[in-house]
Amino acid sequence: MSHVLEAPVEVTAPKPPKSAKPPWRSRFETNGWSLLLLPVVVFLLVVFIAPLIMMFSKSFTDPTVGLDNYRAIWENSLYLKVLKNTFVVAIGTTVLTLLIAFPYAYLMTLATPFWRAVMIIAVLVPFWTSLLVRSFALVLVLRDTGALNTALDSIGVIDEPLPLLRHMSGVLFGMVQITLPFAVLPLYATMRGIDRRLLQAAESLGARPSLAFAKVYVPLTMPGMFAGVILVFIQALGYYITPALLGGPQNTMIGELIVQQVSTVLRFGFAAALGVLLLVSTLVLLAIASRFVDMKKYLMGQS
């Protein structure tokens, strides 16, 4: 019997497993493409974050260190009235804009391609026009001898001019005209993706057309409706040019008050406190809204 000598098998020790990366490290890892974000980040730091930090610090340090600027807001009834006007106008603008934008966007989904293009252009052309030009044009339309009062008087609807200019109604009219595209476009984008066969299915099950519209169609438009409300309301809180041109002293909003404090009274710390108050109010409202609706779903399209 022959014996065959076998070569010894070399046994290598197993390599130790690589240690898992900590979660915080994997979260901040970047690749080469991420460097493209660097200019944007630097730009935001310079023109957005840094001014916010400066405004926040100045509200507590100018002219003296402490809460004097914030205390002055709550101790003066005039400033409280300005805050009230700001939120009343912002809420009124949001409601009126939504009431006009919803049927307009719905009609766009029913129109033929030609008339849909005409309706989109009718919304976008004012949007592309300078805000200052539009506001001055509204002054010519809304004044006592303006186009609107003249037309109403010529057909016998009114006997004396309506108080539109230097009045709350003029401010709302002008702001709704400006904010309308910000509500129409999100609503139309949402309505365009709704399957109208759902309404037919609801009607086939016995629902009246109005009930099917209210119970089926309207809830499906909530993402566009919510996005439009947020865009319109946040913009309306900080408007300056339109209320300054169309409103009066009794309709002063916080944007006008900030400009007045900076350019006329030179109370930079107080103006900074007003800006911080406006920013905090906006963030608080967004936080409250996020308690009732999914902000990521409605604003970022996530499911």
Which residues are CB-neighbours of 11 under 8 A, at least 6 positions away? none
Query: Which of 159, 229, 224 is closest to 191 using CA atoms?
Result: 224
| Cβ proximity of 78 and 86 under 8 Å | no
Measured distance CA(284)–CA(281) in Å, rounded: 5
Query: Which of 288, 179, 300 is closest to 236 using CA atoms?
Result: 179
Measured distance CA(15)–CA(222) in Å, rounded: 56
Measured distance CA(217)–CA(201) in Å, rounded: 12
95, 218, 234, 280 from 284: Cα distances, Å: 20, 27, 12, 6
Per residue in 113-150, pLDDT (tens digit) is 999 999 989 888 877 888 888 888 888 888 888 888 88
pLDDT at site 92? 92
Give yes or no for a cis peptide into 63 (omega within 30° of 0): yes
Of 38-47, 50-59, 199-208, the one with minimum mean pLDDT is 199-208
- Taking residues 202-230, report their average pLDDT: 85
pLDDT band, residue 12 (cuts 50/70/90): low
Kindly tell me if the per-residue pLDDT of 96 is higher than 60: yes
Q: The whole model's pTM is what?
A: 0.78
pLDDT band, residue 91 (cuts 50/70/90): very high
Q: What percent of the chain has pLDDT over 90?
A: 11
DSSP state, residue 232? H
State the distance between the two ends of the chain, measured CA to CA, in whole angstroms: 76
Measured distance CA(229)–CA(266) in Å, rounded: 34
CB atoms within 10 A of CB 62: 17
Query: Which of 66, 30, 2 is closest to 269 using CA atoms?
Result: 66
- Taking residues 171-183, report their average pLDDT: 89
pLDDT band, residue 303 (cuts 50/70/90): very low
Class of domain 51-300: mainly alpha
Measured distance CA(261)–CA(269) in Å, rounded: 9
Query: Which of 98, 103, 105, 80 is closest to 226 using CA atoms?
Result: 98
Query: Which of 174, 167, 168, 183 is closest to 94 using CA atoms?
Result: 183
Where do we find the tokens 């339309």?
141
pLDDT at site 63? 83
pLDDT at site 98? 94
Kindly tell me if the per-residue pLDDT of 294 is higher than 70: no
**For the chain, domain boundaries:** 51-300
HSE of 156, CA atoms in CB hemisphere, 13 A: 0
Which residues are CB-neighbours of 136 under 8 A, at least 6 positions away? 245
| Cβ proximity of 123 and 185 under 8 Å | yes
| Cβ proximity of 190 and 217 under 8 Å | no
Kindly tell me if the per-residue pLDDT of 6 is higher than 80: no
pLDDT band, residue 17 (cuts 50/70/90): low
pLDDT band, residue 292 (cuts 50/70/90): low
What is the average pLDDT score of the chain? 82
